[in-house]
Structure 1
Amino acid sequence: MPTEPESPGPALPPGASTAAQPATPSAGIPAPATGRAQPPARPVRRHPLRAAPGLAAHRLAPVLSGGLPPASGDSMPDWLEPAMAANGIGSFDWDIRRDVLEGDQRACAIMGLDAVDKVRFDCTASSFLTLLHPEDAPVVRRRVERAVAELGQCGAYYRAVGPNGTMRAVRFRGRVLADAFGRASRMVGFVWDATVELHKRDRADRLALLREERSRFIKEAARALSEAVTVRDVARVFTELPLPGLPPDGLVLAAFEAGRAQILGASGYRPGSLSIWDRTLLPAGHPAAEALRHRAPVFISTREEYREGYPEVWEPTSRNGRGSWAYLPLVASGRAIGVCVVSFDDERELDADERTLLTTLGGLVAQSLARARLHDAEHELAAGLQRVMLPRTVPSVPGVTTAVRYLAAGSGLQIGGDWYDVVPLPGGHVGLVIGDVQGHDVHAAGIMGQLRIALRAYAAEGHPPAAVMARASRFLADLDTDHFATCTYAEVNVDYGVVYAVRAGHLDPVVRRSDGTATTVPVAGGLPLGIDPDQEYRVTRFSLDPGETVLLCTDGLVEARGMDLDDGIARLTRTLAEPLPPAGEAARDPLESLADRIASQAADSSEREDDIALLLLRWDGPEGGLAAQQLRRRIGQADLARISEVRAELRDALRRWGVAEFIDTAELLSSELVTNAIRHTDRDAMFTARLYREPDSAGGRARLRVEVEDESDLWPTRRTPGEQASSGRGLMLVEALADAWGVEPRGSGKRMWFELSGTAAA
């Protein structure tokens, strides 16, 4: 493609069409408008381009002198011809009005006209354009036409195609001269072979383009490596980098610890070919060890150079068939952490620009690898803390199905104070815990671990929900950490789907009902744990039908940047209410799919600033459709009000079990046994009521057994009190009203029990 030279208006040889040629059919260029009638053009005899030694004597002098008079009248200066001959410059003259092109011998040779068939070339502009490369001819035509119209200069590079198909680069520069009437008359100028000049220019353009590509590559590599988070990401980015100008045949990224190499990633090598160096101590004579030792790249251009310089490791290295290598040390913060190996199949000597590019790339990879290793170490620490602090597995409790999720925050150490727990309770019940310790660091995670264990222990002992929460608050306050925690604890009666919930500054539970709707269940709340050691918490009771699900979560699930709490809860309830696949059709339990759906709709990791703990429990109902009829409660030594609560729960249970005729007697005798245990011991008592059915017996007989356990070795003694005695009648009542009763030893303490028999309702 012809290009415009630096000076104004240079162009190719006059073989371009003009805007001011005679109105002859061969020219194809209109004559310039002069404002007056033009004489009719007389026929011109076409003749071949001829060598004219004195061609430009008077015509080219003004062009060379810039308009100054020639050195001696109208003759050419004596120095002009030798100067043009010495520099291989030819001259041409194009008569615009007659459309005749003439040139000296050098011009003919340069433009390739000396070897052109005279029939094919008739010295006209149109005929000359046919000799140009098809891509260059239109450009030359436009430039010459503009010069003729403006009586100016033009010039360009163009490619001339010879008769045998050979191509040469030519450059010309010409000026349009006017006649006495100010009309374009002729164009005179110079022409010279520009093949070498154009090759140099093309090479300079290629080098400039290559430098631009390398600069762009460094920017793109820096961006890609800055986005690499893990060591695996850095290795992937490095082994996929397209190095401009020197595509390598092999890339290896290795890290070093205690002198041992660990191959992180490689490309261009056969599987297993690098295993000899993986996780091994590199010998001191290895070029990678030398690069790390001196903190400087090692470039090896030939196989012979490698064999002579590193004979100790040449034999295993030669198996890969490489011909040249570049070992780039990875140095970060003054410490060598690894090496990059760039290899080529052929032997090559890398130039200064290529070595600079590879050295720069090594620096970028080193910084990215150091950052990624730190990230991986922090992530491993966070994962280890999470494994220790959170339950490793969720226990399986018959009658319920649970699903849990923990999502670390989008930045930072990825561990915090959020936790969940599922606690099997006495009597086959289950306790649900969700909580969030103030802060998002290792300190908060440590406090969370202590609080989770303490709360789990209180719950497993059988304490009622209010007592569990109160003791956990007192425990956190006694730790004196200046941290508080929010928490929700719920005890689920697996037999009947009854939930007893306590809330300490935390979110209310959300329940997905059997009709597919989801609602928030208001739970009476108290202060967060650790603020007031004497805080008392109220219990809220609600029930679940078989198949209904209760959800507990931390605020990270419903609060994020740009989303307030109300909007987050509304979104959560909508997600919870979406239809689930039937249990028989799904490849996994629908509750797990629901947990995945909720977690996936949490705020994006780049926006989420808090951890997320999520706990789902679905009450599946009693096996076979009948409840495992049991009631088990712990009664604290100083919690006398708890006795009244247990009596109320017993009445409710017996009514649901269909043995309402047992209520009065069972309540009276239970009060006696519990009171006896509380009065005569200094420990808590455990109350258990079970209903046994005898379906094979006539009338559907049922047997109620009530047990009260304590840790006292003092056995009760039956005695006959006097009329004025205020105590001693309890065992008499038990003996008189119960169908059977007794006392059984335990490892520590005893168990008192009684049984009532009757007919159960259908």
Structure 2
Amino acid sequence: MPTEPESPGPALPSGPPTTSSGRARPPAQAARRHALRTAPGLAAGRLAPMLSGGLPLATSDSTPDWLEPAMAANGIGSFDWDIRRDVLEGDLRACTIVGLDAVEKGRFDRSSASFLALLHPEDAPVVRRRVERAVSELGQCGAYYRTVGPTGAMRAVRFRGRVLADAFGRASRMVGFVWDATVELHKRDRADRLALLREERSRFIKEAARALSEAVTVRDVARVFTELPLPGLPPDGLVLASFEAGRVQVLGASGYRPEELAGYDRSVLPPTHPAAEALRGRAPVFCASREEYRERYPDVWEQARRTTRSSWAFLPLVASGRAIGVCVVSFDDDRELDADERTLLSTLGGLVAQSLARARLHDAEHELAAGLQRVMLPRTVPSVPGVTTAVRYLAAGSGLQIGGDWYDVVPLPGGHVGLVIGDVQGHDVHAAGIMGQLRIALRAYAAEGHPPAAVMARASRFLADLDTDHFATCTYAEVNVDYGVVYAVRAGHLDPVVRRADGTAATVPVAGGLPLGIAPDEEYRVTRFSLDPGETVLLCTDGLVEARGMDLDEGIARLTAVLAEPLADAARTGRDPLEDLADRIASQAADSSEREDDIALLVLRWDGPEGGLAAQQLRRRIGQADLARIAEVRAELRDALRRWGVAELIDTAELLSSELVTNAIRHTDRDAMFTARLYREPAADGGRARLRVEVEDESDLWPTRRTPGEQASSGRGLMLVEALADGWGVEPRGSGKRMWFELTVTPAE
């Protein structure tokens, strides 16, 4: 194979550097100009070392007699090229080395073009270029080249020549030597192949290390191992197995039938098995043939005999000084692995061991985190008549995949339902533990029947008493299932989002307070809003609407856009549209590999009673000291009358109800019970609607109608009731009394 130009070596015995007449050569530049002007082979681009048909050298620079025996002993031939006449001459050895047999000699016309035709097409340009340079510089050149015979046989030749100048300093002749370099070239080819194989193995180790470093789970490690292309020794079978408590578990395999591995999977590894020997000695075990396997391990030969394998390599997987598994590399033919191949397999075993140990730790941590998260979150969501709920939880894409986000659905006294969504600071096991305690405490407070503000205040004090240096954000909403009224409390959390009956979606502003655990004495305000049948309220944690590259406003806008999309057809999908909606919202979250925060999602749809109409009765207890409850009851009454279809009674009913409730609270020291009922007459009887409002208390003191003066600040309540109600009265009730009034409305024609 030709190489790049070599540096000029020592002068060959091919004549003195001066002319025969003793005249000095012209300067180098003049010599090059003369050579280019007078060399016919150079002008034609055909210059190369040439050989004749074995004619003796006829020049005055023939090989000296003292050098001939040395050349003959070393198989070196000589050549002489007349550059001006483009004629080549060489001795018999040179012809033999080049491969000119009798047939070739007849075809060879001793010209440069004829000789170039003998060379390999890849080598001829290189040889020509080097000779041209030597002629132009009156210097030396040399190269490897290959000749191709008429039968396609190829041989390698090496030459070295020197250009001689005439009396005028022009290139006249090139003389030199040739010798057979086939063996030398074969050595170089073998060295090149070995170097290429080493390069491939080094590249394989780098690629295997990269692929195994990216493997996260044990399944990933098994997949990467069984798909690795081993350079130079492609195996016919690969097995990766873990070793725990004396038992083997096959993690992955290629090139084996399932029945061939069934006897080993989850079984005790025999102590005489070569894999057991490799694990005990922490060193690979190689079997080059079936005979060697049978002789060394006769006790377990029967299982190996049933396979088609003929040679094996058992590589122990050792991590942190502990044997955790074994790799088996097998071949269908007998194979005695050399030192480089064994080193390659041993290195691969070390890489697989480290990756497998890391993957097993990851799987164990993931299972621990997933189990802990399952215990902390509700296993099931209770079914409450009148509402439909759907929940989703997505763990963070990094770390232990566990955090402090949670959701809960709590059945409350009176058929109501409580919705909880929260997020404890942090994304670790500590945060998950705090979340579990806080969820249980908040659930207990809600189940006891405390109003939403009291539930949130008690939860905040509970978290502060834990003294964990953690805080939590939370939104708690109590839903009146009878009327679709929602009482929401927010502690540093996101506002709820409501999807209305017309398909629009928007956030509902809720009065907020400090996160739980920061100010134990924080008082939280309640925000009230209502739902129509079929409307949906959504609570979520910030992981759904905040991510890298997406701020909160953008996330809320995306969420409301998804929520406003048309719902799926239950008849077509066979699922409740709320479940499809929850899946669609969760799918908008960032990919699990990039998500930095947990996501908890709770969706509730108020279905209402059958027919879509709320029950036409409202009953509420008003505490003696809870004056804010009066305003809440008035608001609930407004919603109820609007839903019952008697909105024209709202103003009058609200005013009179407020008077009766205020009278009961002011003049007694007990709680009051407020009840509103709507009665409808049949259409045949006119279809009138009659609203009856009752306020019960436990006082025996009856109200007295008075006529207050112009400057009096009280005493007009019963006057308003008498003037505006269609009927009113006071009835005894055991230890107390019941005040009532009625309003009637006749449907329009």
Give your verdict on TM over 0.5.
yes
State whether residues 630 and 658 of structure 2, in contact with CA within 8 Å, keep that contact through their aligned partners in structure 1.
no
User: How much has 1:295 moved relative to structure 2?
Assistant: 1.0
Q: Distance in 1 between matches of 2:274 and 2:3?
A: 49
The residue matched to 2:407 in structure 1 has which SS? strand
The one-letter code of the counterpart of 2:159 is F
State whether residues 395 and 423 of structure 1, in contact with CA within 8 Å, keep that contact through their aligned partners in structure 2.
yes
Aligned residue in 2 for 1:449: 436
Aligned residue in 1 for 2:323: 336
Aligned residue in 2 for 1:627: 614
Aligned residue in 2 for 1:24: none
Aligned residue in 1 for 2:52: 49
Q: 1:393 to 1:692 in 2, by over 3 A?
A: farther
State whether residues 700 and 759 of structure 1, in contact with CA within 8 Å, keep that contact through their aligned partners in structure 2.
no
The one-letter code of the counterpart of 2:119 is L
Q: 1:153 to 1:739 in 2, by over 3 A?
A: farther
Q: 1:271 to 1:495 in 2, by over 3 A?
A: same
Write the mapping of 1:572-591 to structure 2, written as runs, cut at 5 A: 572-577=559-564, 589-591=576-578
Aligned residue in 1 for 2:74: 87
The residue matched to 2:329 in structure 1 has which SS? strand
Aligned residue in 2 for 1:20: none
The residue matched to 1:58 in structure 2 has which SS? coil
Write the mapping of 1:460-539 to structure 2, written as runs, cut at 5 A: 460-514=447-501, 516-539=503-526
State whether residues 55 and 103 of structure 1, in contact with CA within 8 Å, keep that contact through their aligned partners in structure 2.
no
Q: Deviation per CA, 1:376-425: give whole Å up to 9, x if none.
A: 11111111111111122333445444332222223222111111122333
Q: Distance in 2 between matches of 1:228 and 1:39?
A: 67
Q: 1:492 to 1:293 in 2, by over 3 A?
A: same
The residue matched to 1:113 in structure 2 has which SS? coil
Q: Distance in 2 between matches of 1:205 and 1:434?
A: 68
Q: Distance in 2 between matches of 1:499 and 1:195?
A: 94
The residue matched to 2:252 in structure 1 has which SS? strand
Between 325-334 and 623-632, the greater mean CA deviation after superposition? 623-632
User: How much has 1:139 moved relative to structure 2?
Assistant: 2.9
Aligned residue in 2 for 1:229: 216
Q: 1:489 to 1:722 in 2, by over 3 A?
A: closer
The one-letter code of the counterpart of 2:307 is N
State whether residues 91 and 107 of structure 1, in contact with CA within 8 Å, keep that contact through their aligned partners in structure 2.
yes
Between 420-429 and 578-587, the greater mean CA deviation after superposition? 578-587
User: How much has 1:437 moved relative to structure 2?
Assistant: 1.3
Between 617-626 and 377-386, the greater mean CA deviation after superposition? 617-626
Aligned residue in 2 for 1:238: 225
2:380 is aligned, of 365, 383, 393, to 393
User: How much has 1:52 moved relative to structure 2?
Assistant: 4.2
2:644 is aligned, of 639, 654, 657, to 657
State whether residues 135 and 171 of structure 2, in contact with CA within 8 Å, keep that contact through their aligned partners in structure 1.
yes
User: How much has 1:352 moved relative to structure 2?
Assistant: 0.9
State whether residues 35 and 135 of structure 2, in contact with CA within 8 Å, keep that contact through their aligned partners in structure 1.
no
Q: Distance in 1 between matches of 2:115 and 2:238?
A: 54
Q: Distance in 2 between matches of 1:580 and 1:619?
A: 15
Q: Distance in 2 between matches of 1:396 and 1:722?
A: 45
Q: Distance in 1 between matches of 2:391 and 2:235?
A: 48
User: How much has 1:575 moved relative to structure 2?
Assistant: 4.5
User: How much has 1:676 moved relative to structure 2?
Assistant: 13
Q: Distance in 1 between matches of 2:491 and 2:375?
A: 24
State whether residues 486 and 528 of structure 1, in contact with CA within 8 Å, keep that contact through their aligned partners in structure 2.
yes
State whether residues 40 and 85 of structure 2, in contact with CA within 8 Å, keep that contact through their aligned partners in structure 1.
no
User: How much has 1:445 moved relative to structure 2?
Assistant: 1.0
The one-letter code of the counterpart of 1:2 is P
Q: Distance in 1 between matches of 2:40 and 2:334?
A: 72
The residue matched to 2:538 in structure 1 has which SS? strand
Write the mapping of 1:612-761 to structure 2, written as runs, cut at 5 A: 612-620=599-607, 623-631=610-618, 639=626, 641-642=628-629, 645-646=632-633, 649-650=636-637, 652-654=639-641, 656-658=643-645, 679=670, 698-699=685-686
Aligned residue in 1 for 2:2: 2
User: How much has 1:497 moved relative to structure 2?
Assistant: 3.5
Q: Deviation per CA, 1:339-380: give whole Å up to 9, x if none.
A: 111111111111111111111111111111111111111111
State whether residues 419 and 448 of structure 1, in contact with CA within 8 Å, keep that contact through their aligned partners in structure 2.
yes
User: How much has 1:214 moved relative to structure 2?
Assistant: 0.9
The residue matched to 1:274 in structure 2 has which SS? helix
2:61 is aligned, of 58, 62, 66, to 58
Q: Deviation per CA, 1:136-194: give whole Å up to 9, x if none.
A: 33332333233222322222222222233322222222222221122221221111222
Q: Distance in 2 between matches of 1:39 and 1:269?
A: 70
Mapped pair 1:193 → 2:180:
yes
Q: 1:202 to 1:703 in 2, by over 3 A?
A: farther
Q: Distance in 2 between matches of 1:288 and 1:383?
A: 34
State whether residues 462 and 634 of structure 1, in contact with CA within 8 Å, keep that contact through their aligned partners in structure 2.
no
Aligned residue in 2 for 1:555: 542
> What TM-score results when the alignment is normalised by the length of structure 2?
0.81
Q: Deviation per CA, 1:281-314: give whole Å up to 9, x if none.
A: 1010011111111111111111111111111111
Q: Distance in 2 between matches of 1:587 and 1:601?
A: 22
State whether residues 425 and 462 of structure 1, in contact with CA within 8 Å, keep that contact through their aligned partners in structure 2.
yes
Q: Distance in 1 between matches of 2:617 and 2:140?
A: 110
Q: Deviation per CA, 1:481-515: give whole Å up to 9, x if none.
A: 33221111122334444322111111222334455
State whether residues 690 and 704 of structure 1, in contact with CA within 8 Å, keep that contact through their aligned partners in structure 2.
yes
Q: Which runs of 5+ in 1 are unaligned?
A: 11-30, 42-46, 61-75, 711-715, 724-735, 744-749
Between 605-614 and 86-95, the greater mean CA deviation after superposition? 605-614
State whether residues 464 and 633 of structure 1, in contact with CA within 8 Å, keep that contact through their aligned partners in structure 2.
no
Aligned residue in 2 for 1:310: 297
User: How much has 1:432 moved relative to structure 2?
Assistant: 1.8
User: How much has 1:741 moved relative to structure 2?
Assistant: 10
Q: Distance in 2 between matches of 1:757 and 1:213?
A: 96
User: How much has 1:629 moved relative to structure 2?
Assistant: 3.7
State whether residues 221 and 241 of structure 1, in contact with CA within 8 Å, keep that contact through their aligned partners in structure 2.
yes
State whether residues 222 and 240 of structure 2, in contact with CA within 8 Å, keep that contact through their aligned partners in structure 1.
yes
Aligned residue in 1 for 2:102: 115
The residue matched to 1:624 in structure 2 has which SS? coil
Q: Distance in 2 between matches of 1:303 and 1:39?
A: 69
Between 473-482 and 662-671, the greater mean CA deviation after superposition? 662-671
Aligned residue in 2 for 1:262: 249
Write the mapping of 1:241-390 to structure 2, written as runs, cut at 5 A: 241-390=228-377
User: How much has 1:620 moved relative to structure 2?
Assistant: 4.8
Q: 1:526 to 1:89 in 2, by over 3 A?
A: same
Between 319-328 and 541-550, the greater mean CA deviation after superposition? 541-550
Aligned residue in 2 for 1:403: 390
The one-letter code of the counterpart of 1:258 is A
User: How much has 1:195 moved relative to structure 2?
Assistant: 1.4
Q: Distance in 1 between matches of 2:603 and 2:635?
A: 29
Q: Distance in 2 between matches of 1:171 and 1:629?
A: 111
Mapped pair 1:412 → 2:394:
no
State whether residues 398 and 594 of structure 2, in contact with CA within 8 Å, keep that contact through their aligned partners in structure 1.
no
Q: 1:738 to 1:474 in 2, by over 3 A?
A: farther
User: How much has 1:590 moved relative to structure 2?
Assistant: 4.9
The one-letter code of the counterpart of 1:319 is R
Q: Deviation per CA, 1:545-574: give whole Å up to 9, x if none.
A: 455433322222333445444444444445
Between 190-199 and 577-586, the greater mean CA deviation after superposition? 577-586
Between 157-166 and 257-266, the greater mean CA deviation after superposition? 157-166
Q: 1:331 to 1:485 in 2, by over 3 A?
A: same
Q: Distance in 2 between matches of 1:451 and 1:566?
A: 29
The residue matched to 2:101 in structure 1 has which SS? helix
The one-letter code of the counterpart of 2:2 is P
The one-letter code of the counterpart of 2:192 is D
Aligned residue in 1 for 2:150: 163
Q: Deviation per CA, 1:511-540: give whole Å up to 9, x if none.
A: 344555543322111122223333221111
